[in-house]
Structure 1
Amino acid sequence: MNIYAFPPIAAVIDGAYRLLMGLADLIHPVAGAAASAAAIVLVTLIVRAALIPVGVSQAKAERMRAKIAPKLAELQRKHKDDPERLQREMMALYSAEGTSPLAGCLPMLVQIPVVGVIYALFILPTIAGHPNELLGHTLGGVPLGDSLAGQLASGTFEPASAIVYGVVILGIAAVGEVTRRVFRPQTPTMPTPAPAATPAPAPGAKGPATPPAGLTTALGVLQFLTAVIAIFVPLAAGIYLFVTVAWTLGQRVVLRRVYPPLVQPATA
């Protein structure tokens, strides 16, 4: 079964095709042969601009998660031997605070169909019964419908293509590394008491909580997953991913200034 032949999906793809072709024709006097790539960048910026209110909600959700983190840790300690009770108590806490564990995931979920449509636009030879002219469009001589993995597998990869793929894929990886460094979990700074006044720790007591090493590693890996995906999807979809991760980084930096992270009060 060809999912792209399903009438509602076919109509969406055809509408996106006409929009992208119209933008490419509009930009062509300025961008020349790179007009379709520039149109993809423009569409990405429009989508991300429309999601700014969602990004604000995401920033607020992050602050709320930081606020209730100590309460969640206490629930996990208290009900560690009763998973069902722990789940109920955690959901009750989220409900009482007016948030949820999935708060802030909407930007990612909304963009999944957008990436899917761009992917379809550059793999289908025909759209709504007419030839797909986008397949003949290029960026730096590389067809927008080709992928790095596809060119390597078919033996059509040329050194000149390495520049285009390198800018997109390594650019995504670089943004991921900057994001990982800027937004890595921070350990709260505790006031240092005078040596003479420092009491001996109670048996079984733990020091200040630090981010688990496994969590930090997992977050770092996830940041580079988009770069791996860009190796296998059409170059057009890779361009979309590059622009959107760069936008996400800039937006998070701005929103962090507007909604700075909550600092938990230090305890004696």
Structure 2
Amino acid sequence: MDLSAFPPIAALLDGAHALLMGVAALLEPLVGAGSAAAAVVLVTLLVRAALIPVGVSQAKAERTRARLAPRIADLRRRHANDPERLQRELLGLYSAEGTSPMAGCLPLLIQAPIVGAIYALFILPTIAGHPNALLEQQLAGVPLGSSLAGSIASGSLEPGALVVFAIVIGSIALVGELTRRAFRRQPVAGAASEPTDPAAPAAVLGSAGMLRAIGVLQFLTAVIAVFVPLAAALYLLVTVAWTLGQRLVLRRAYPPIAPPLPA
């Protein structure tokens, strides 16, 4: 089932498409033929800026989870044989701290439909029954609806297009590497070292694995950019660059917590 053809969603996408093309028309006197690509960048920045409160909420939730991790692990250890008592204790802990187990998930649920709708504008060939005019525009002579993989498969890849794709996809990979280095696990003075004991709290043992998974996902975005239209690749580039900058700012505003392991 094509959800984009569902009337309410189609109407939403059609309105967003008209707005995007209107922005491109406004930018055309300033940037010329690259106005559509500039509109993609500008709209993506505006959407990410509007979602800043969501990012702040998620950062606070992550900090709270890190602070409560030792106490949660201790409760799970003490009440491992009494699930009902464990559930009551966990709910009591969350209530006393003014948070909930879903605090970190709600921000993702809020931004998912917004991000999904914007991303759809950059990959759908038709919107509300008419061609997606954005994908017919060009950046440095390369159609925004073309992809690197598709151009290679059809034998239509030209040197100029290869340079454009290489810059965009290479930039995504570079941001991924910068993100991996900026957020790799760092020892914190006075904090316990990462445990190797299998009896250690799962929240602590899983942190390194989570960071490794985030690093892999950063490079997976560059792989995805090989197969999606150039417009979507531009969106991904702006998104990962914004996300890196936002995470650096939020890490300074909400420094990571390295809680001591429970006895």
With normalisation by structure 2, the TM-score equals 0.80
In structure 2, the partner of 1:136 is 136
Q: How many residues align structurally?
A: 255
Partner Cα separation in structure 1 for residue 175 and residue 137 of structure 2: 27
Amino acid at match of 2:228: V
In structure 2, the partner of 1:245 is 240
In structure 2, the partner of 1:147 is 147
CA contact under 8 A between 2:20 and 2:40: conserved in structure 1? yes
Q: CA RMSD, aligned part only?
A: 3.2
Partner Cα separation in structure 1 for residue 247 and residue 99 of structure 2: 20
Partner Cα separation in structure 2 for residue 156 and residue 118 of structure 1: 28
The verdict on how the C-alpha distance between 1:163 and 1:78 changes in structure 2, with shifts beyond 3 A counting, is farther
Partner Cα separation in structure 2 for residue 4 and residue 191 of structure 1: 50
Cα deviation digits, residues 148-172 of structure 1 (max 9, x gap): 2222222222232222222222212
The verdict on how the C-alpha distance between 1:6 and 1:190 changes in structure 2, with shifts beyond 3 A counting, is closer
Partner Cα separation in structure 2 for residue 7 and residue 191 of structure 1: 55
- In the TM superposition, residue 50 of structure 1 has moved relative to its aligned partner by 0.8
CA contact under 8 A between 2:168 and 2:234: conserved in structure 1? yes
In structure 2, the partner of 1:235 is 230
With normalisation by structure 1, the TM-score equals 0.79
Of 244, 256, 259, 1:261 maps to 256
In structure 1, the partner of 2:44 is 44
- In the TM superposition, residue 250 of structure 1 has moved relative to its aligned partner by 0.9
CA contact under 8 A between 1:66 and 1:262: conserved in structure 2? yes
Counterpart secondary structure, 1:146: coil
In structure 1, the partner of 2:195 is none
Name which of structure 1's ranges 10-19 and 257-266 shifts more when overlaid on structure 2. 257-266
Amino acid at match of 2:152: L
Give runs of aligned pairs for residues 53-68 of structure 1, distance below 5 A: 53-68=53-68
Please say if 1:220 is aligned against 2:220: no
Partner Cα separation in structure 1 for residue 84 and residue 165 of structure 2: 48
Counterpart secondary structure, 2:145: coil
CA contact under 8 A between 1:168 and 1:238: conserved in structure 2? yes
Amino acid at match of 1:259: Y
- In the TM superposition, residue 47 of structure 1 has moved relative to its aligned partner by 0.7
Cα deviation digits, residues 19-43 of structure 1 (max 9, x gap): 0110000000111111111101111
Give runs of aligned pairs for residues 168-179 of structure 1, distance below 5 A: 168-179=168-179
Give runs of aligned pairs for residues 1-268 of structure 1, distance below 5 A: 1-79=1-79, 89-90=89-90, 92-105=92-105, 108-190=108-190, 214-264=209-259
The verdict on how the C-alpha distance between 1:242 and 1:67 changes in structure 2, with shifts beyond 3 A counting, is same
CA contact under 8 A between 1:58 and 1:103: conserved in structure 2? yes
- In the TM superposition, residue 246 of structure 1 has moved relative to its aligned partner by 0.9
Identity of aligned residues (%): 66
Counterpart secondary structure, 1:99: coil
- In the TM superposition, residue 45 of structure 1 has moved relative to its aligned partner by 1.0
Counterpart secondary structure, 1:103: coil
CA contact under 8 A between 2:33 and 2:138: conserved in structure 1? yes
CA contact under 8 A between 1:75 and 1:86: conserved in structure 2? yes
Q: Which runs of 5+ in 1 are unaligned?
A: 193-203
Partner Cα separation in structure 2 for residue 157 and residue 19 of structure 1: 31
Partner Cα separation in structure 2 for residue 30 and residue 63 of structure 1: 43
- In the TM superposition, residue 44 of structure 1 has moved relative to its aligned partner by 0.8
Partner Cα separation in structure 2 for residue 263 and residue 254 of structure 1: 19
Q: Which runs of 5+ in 2 are unaligned?
A: 193-197
The verdict on how the C-alpha distance between 1:119 and 1:151 changes in structure 2, with shifts beyond 3 A counting, is farther
